[in-house]
Structure 1
Amino acid sequence: MTDTTRTSLANLPVTLRDIERAAGVLGDFVKLTNFDRSRTLSDITGASVWLKFENLQFTATFKERGALNRLSALSADERRRGVIAASAGNHAQGVAFHAACLSIPATIFVPVGTPTVKIENTRRHGANVIEGGATLEEATTLAAELGREQGLTFIHPYDDPMIIAGQGTIALEMLAAVPDLDVLLVPIGGGGLISGMAVAAKTLKPGIEVIGVQAALYPSMYNVIKGQQLPMRGDTLAEGIAVKAPGRITSGIVRALVDDIVLVTEQQIEQALSLLITIEKTVTEGAGAAGLAAILANEARFKGRTVGLVLSGGNIDTRLLSGVLTRQLAREGRLSQLRFDIVDRPGQLATVVALLSKSGANIVEVSHQRIFTDLPAKAVVLEVVIETRDRSHLEATIASLRAANVDVEVGGH
């Protein structure tokens, strides 16, 4: 361990001892999730990719760890009066579930627009859920105000040493299972997860590289650490890490211990999420797929290295998930929309269908448009959604249509 690392660790508000103590508190109450090597993802990326399946916790999120550690430290009076928290969904579920297990009344503020699946799961655990504030920061302010008025203990989602220590137990488990890890790739929102994991990892194995991953639309910690002013805006698939203001405590730990922070685009997150479903048969939310997105975007950096990823959560709206998978099929050339301008007379549709059938393309949807078009009155717009094996099959299908003198345009490519 270098003197710089030793000094940094000694001056931080969270220590390895705190994390080990948290592991004892969690005991059998939080699942020891699998940490498995993905042979296929390793073949695809050239790295040895290991996946920590925190999306398989009871509430489908790692947030249970910090929540339980913090709740367990409450006094008898604090437990009686209850707790309050603010969350985009996952911290809410962790607090609600373990508060119920400990018979502690819980109130949760969630930002307006939080995915329905996260809100309903939180209510199912017995918490009083209040939607308020356009952002997580606004919801946090509202929760803190109500907590002061009613004498409730505020459970911060990330900027609390006991929350950080609870999240750090993940790194203990990963290194115990695979001591020769070279890199940890960890999603960053407010920074609680990466702070705890960095403390544990850098104490146990100082040479390990700890890299944070943020959505490019919300580079809050990236800006703080790198002195940038990149804008934060829009709706990201990784809403679980869409935090505009990282914590004061977590920022200090990240600055001291984290080696780098990388940004990933929405398309890269979608691709990673789709691969995890199709290859690993595991459902993650956008934030949970961020680590794999970082590898896919920087394969040369991680080639030949043993990389540990945290699939941090699996709470994603099913409608959104369906859209992500469909969009990925389109990007891969497996699902395409073809447009034909044809003469409006019998037999034209049959000709197109016959050519598509001969090429081996599967017709998913057909639409005729005669009215809302600027084509001549005797013409019709024909739109056909087809399924093909891959992009080369799509290109062969288009070529066969054009060879038969059928004018076709491909949408979305």
Structure 2
Amino acid sequence: MNIDMIRAAATRLEGHARRTPMLTSPFLDEIAGRQLLVKPECLQHTGSFKFRGGWSAVSALDEATRKRGVIAFSSGNHAQGVALAAAKHASPSVIIMPEDAPKMKIDNTRALGAEVVLYDRAGGESREDIGRTYSEERGLTLIKPYDEPQVIAGQGTTGLEIAAQAGELNVNQADVLVCCGGGGLTSGIALALEAEAPNLRARPCEPEEFDDATRSLISGKIEVNARISGGICDAIVTPSPGEITFPIMQRLCGPGIVVSEDECLHAMALAFSRLKIVVEPGGAAALAAALFHGSEVQGEAVVAVCTGGNVDAQMFKVALERFG
């Protein structure tokens, strides 16, 4: 995993992924206590940064392999990213999703042309076992959600954009806060910043009870969450950091920041009222950290990546009613 792979992914993504903007608001600057730059990957195709990794991985396959098809497992955002990338490459896709994933994400994945297979995550059913069976029977190529070099490379293109956009705004030293599940985006951004903007430092942001990356960075070894499901931040609920992603984060990232679910909901409401964007709970963790954990952030400026916007209407309503 290296910067050359990220730059190559950027070339393959050119003309296919959106270069999402960098948003600012004086109202949010005041709450954060510093200049706050918001990278809204909720505006990316399929409503999340995951399209970058999906396209990178599918486009890197040889034509014969793509024709046989791909398989992925995801609670929703990686599912949609892979499904759309596969569809645009005329490649069949099978996506294994937990039964308790948001209905919007399941419906959208099917609408993008994927065959969706649901499994009982809470009951302990193994998505890996299901995926292995489908892969062997159909000759499908597995595209992992985060612990896959080409996926990390695609997500890392977000970091290339952050480096360039921060430079354009004369922000040369800042913490870059990233919503973190398995660490694919966080590690990809960290690698890109190391090469293009070494004074910008990636930091993982996670919800309470699912703070495996934060605890792993403290202990120096991969920690596993006691719970594997539940909570409203489904987009970043993973058992532990990846075998590939954790060493990258350990070498390059600053300490993690842990936020509450209420802080995520509050950040969602503020993103809507001040930036006019829709963000899902897990996609708002970094913004919540920037706004409500300023004492843990270093520098006169901070960058927060809003990683996804695929939120059910009822959950969005809760955020607006409680904090709007």
Whether contact under 8 Å (1:87, 1:111) holds in the other structure is yes
Distance in 2, matches of 1:46 and 1:204, equals: 26
Query: What are the residue-to-residue correspondences of 1:279-318 with 2, within 5 Å?
Result: 279-302=274-297, 305-318=300-313
Partner of 1:145 in structure 2? 133
The reply on whether 1:187 has 2:179 as its aligned counterpart is yes
The reply on whether 1:115 has 2:102 as its aligned counterpart is yes
Distance 1:133 1:291, change over 3 A: same
Q: Deviations over 1:71-95 (max 9, x none)?
A: 0111222112111100000000001
Between the aligned residues of both structures, percent identity stands at: 35
Counting matched residue pairs gives 316
Find the residue that maps to 2:256 and give its secondary structure: strand
What's the CA shift for 1:46?
1.3
Structure number with greater Rg is 1
The reply on whether 1:96 has 2:76 as its aligned counterpart is no
What's the CA shift for 1:61?
0.6
The reply on whether 1:218 has 2:206 as its aligned counterpart is no
Whether contact under 8 Å (1:237, 1:269) holds in the other structure is no
Q: Which moved more, 1:109-118 or 1:140-149?
A: 140-149
Partner of 1:323 in structure 2? 318
Distance 1:141 1:194, change over 3 A: farther
Partner of 2:112 in structure 1? 125
Distance 1:151 1:303, change over 3 A: closer
Match of 1:26 among 13, 22, 34: 13
Distance in 2, matches of 1:199 and 1:137, equals: 34
What 5-or-longer segments of structure 1 have no aligned partner? 1-13, 330-413
Segments of 4+ in structure 1 off by > 4 A?
none
Whether contact under 8 Å (2:225, 2:239) holds in the other structure is no
The reply on whether 1:78 has 2:65 as its aligned counterpart is yes
The reply on whether 1:167 has 2:155 as its aligned counterpart is yes
Whether contact under 8 Å (1:45, 1:303) holds in the other structure is no
What's the CA shift for 1:174?
1.1
What's the CA shift for 1:324?
2.3
- Given residue 321 of structure 2, which amino acid in structure 1 is its aligned partner? T
Whether contact under 8 Å (1:42, 1:48) holds in the other structure is yes
Find the residue that maps to 1:282 and give its secondary structure: coil
Partner of 2:249 in structure 1? 254
- Given residue 249 of structure 1, which amino acid in structure 2 is its aligned partner? I
Distance 1:41 1:137, change over 3 A: farther
Distance 1:311 1:25, change over 3 A: same
- Given residue 207 of structure 1, which amino acid in structure 2 is its aligned partner? N
What's the CA shift for 1:301?
3.7
Find the residue that maps to 1:158 and give its secondary structure: coil
What's the CA shift for 1:245?
2.6
Q: Deviations over 1:171-215 (max 9, x none)?
A: 111111112241100011011000100001022232322211011
Distance in 2, matches of 1:167 and 1:221, equals: 17
- Given residue 159 of structure 2, which amino acid in structure 1 is its aligned partner? A
Q: Pairwise CA RMSD of aligned residues?
A: 1.8
Find the residue that maps to 2:20 and give its secondary structure: coil
- Given residue 73 of structure 2, which amino acid in structure 1 is its aligned partner? A
Query: What are the residue-to-residue correspondences of 1:316-395 with 2, within 5 Å?
Result: 316-328=311-323
Q: Deviations over 1:152-171 (max 9, x none)?
A: 10010100111001100011
Find the residue that maps to 2:203 and give its secondary structure: strand
